[in-house]
A and B are shown apart, each in its own frame.
Chain A
Amino acid sequence: MRYSGLKVITEGLFGNKGWTPAWRDPAPKAEYDVVIIGGGGHGLSTAYYLAKNHGITNVAVLEKGYLGGGNVGRNTTIVRANYFLPGNSEFYSHSMKLWEGMEADLNYNVMHSQRGLINLFHSDGQRDAFVRRGNAMINQGDDAILLDRDGVRELLPYLDYDNTRFPIYGGLLHPRGGSARHDAVAWGYARGADQRGVDLIQNCEVTGIDVEGGVVKGVQTTRGAIRAKKVAIIVAGRSSQVAAMAGMRLPIESHILQAFVSEGLKPVINHVISFGMGHFYISQSDKGGLVFGGDLDFYASYAARGNLPMVEHVMEAGMTLMPMIGRAKVLRSWGGIMDMSPDGSPVIDKTHIEGLLLDCGWNYGGFKAVPASGWCMAHLMATGNSHEYASKFRLDRFATGHLLDEEGTGSQHNLH
């Protein structure tokens, strides 16, 4: 079924009885050309682009819970292409272009809103660093505008500009940055993949990976064995457990990242604002809730909930930046499991096992990468070669020293 404004109106007139499920609920077949482990944003977009770009449709996506029930439905929905390093820059630039065409491509409203992202700076040195980053973004063909203090004040009059420790000197505006409805992204890719013949199999947990003579043969699941010529592990925070089924030890440590949403308010924050010095960022959802968060809890965890010290820190940072939000009530908070890599950059690569591929290490920046990650992973699976935009996301780069340390913080998993 194709969605359109006319369809919404006619369905509304006739009691909304004509809607059909957005995807099938098939039982797993005994064999597929490709099995994708993980029905999150990256797994679903990989399946979609395998079918759309490469005509590979005998594909199953295996999800242990429900589609989009992991990080793709638990993040703070920021979309941006403000990376600096060659290797990252062209990848996120490509992702941004895919975002811009996503709704038309998927025939699905993902509520993508390019409301502008503003990164604040608080010293002369930081301004220099932001000028350099902005120039890198412009060189990549993307957009960046340096705002001075008055320029920021015009857009964000409600900030505290004279904070003693971090007075606001200005900001780097990335006009094409913004946000999107996270669930809708998962659903849109799921529907698009399903329409092209991909089987989306939920409540199907992978319990083993079958390898014979260094070649992958399939997977064992809670819904029986499934043979496959190629298997992709795209499971974010659970990457280490699934890779261990194939005897692999990954450069990943899973950490907890908390996020918060306030009660619904009238429109007050029109941009995505990041206050890096306070480890704080905030935007307002279309529903009115202030969506904000901070840094990792800093210790390895699979708890999907954090501890109170980081809650306190995030609230303090928010109050420091914009004292007006002190009167808003926090509605809920939650935690996601982040697959932190030692350099803060991801892996899209083959493994030493033939036919077994890996897409992981998205740290806490995986949401904006959903389209390009699927695009490049599908390319790698279909052609056997790394896509030019993901050619530096190699699994062996840690051993060879070709790190992509965007923040320059060193090879410790929780520092990115």
Chain B
Amino acid sequence: MRLTCPLCGERDRREFYYYGAEDYLHRPAEGASLAEWDNYLHLRDNPAGMTKDLWYHEAGCSQWLLVTRNTVTHAIAGVELVAERKTEQKAGRAK
């Protein structure tokens, strides 16, 4: 399995650290209920098929990446920078 980092290009899987599902990007607000925290920290869709998860380019550019991939075939459908995604979200909110 190889991931194509938007900054570094196609790299070996060993350069990356897997963190977990995309859920980690949706941190509950301060004061959220225990159920929301449980949902964020522990509960997962865990799909057999397409999923989005977080990888860290540890031995490369040190960027957090959001990878779209298939958990059954290991095919990678897309890799985007979490930082860019957050910038877009902020720009979206500014409108």
Contact = CB atoms under 8 A, between A and B. Distances in A.
A240 B14 contact: no
Nearest to B16: A299
A253 B14 CA distance: 21
Nearest to B18: A299
A253 B41 contact: no
Q: How large is the interface on A (under 10, 10 to 19, 20 to 34, 35 or more residues)?
A: 20 to 34
A307 B71 CA distance: 13
A250 B43 contact: yes
Contacts of A398: 38, 41-43
Contacts of A254: 46, 48, 71
B89 interface: no
A409 interface: no
Contact of A414 (B12, B14, B18, B43): B18
B38 A240 contact: no
Q: How large is the interface on B (under 10, 10 to 19, 20 to 34, 35 or more residues)?
A: 20 to 34
Contacts of B41: 342, 398, 411
Contact of A249 (B45, B48, B74): B45
Interface in B24-73: 34-35, 38-39, 41-48, 51, 53, 55, 71-73
Given A240-B46, A249-B45, A300-B53, A399 B35 contact: yes
B1 interface: yes
**Chain B interface, >50% SS class:** mixed
Contacts of B1: 307
Nearest to B69: A299
A301 B43 contact: no
A238 interface: yes
A399 B33 CA distance: 10
Contacts of A412: 19-20
A299 B74 CA distance: 10
A138 interface: no
A398 B19 CA distance: 19
Contacts of A303: 71-74
B48 A302 contact: yes
4 tightest Cβ-Cβ pairs between the two chains A and B:
A240-B46, A399-B38, A251-B42, A398-B42
Interface of B: 1, 12-14, 18-21, 34-35, 38-39, 41-48, 51, 53, 55, 71-74
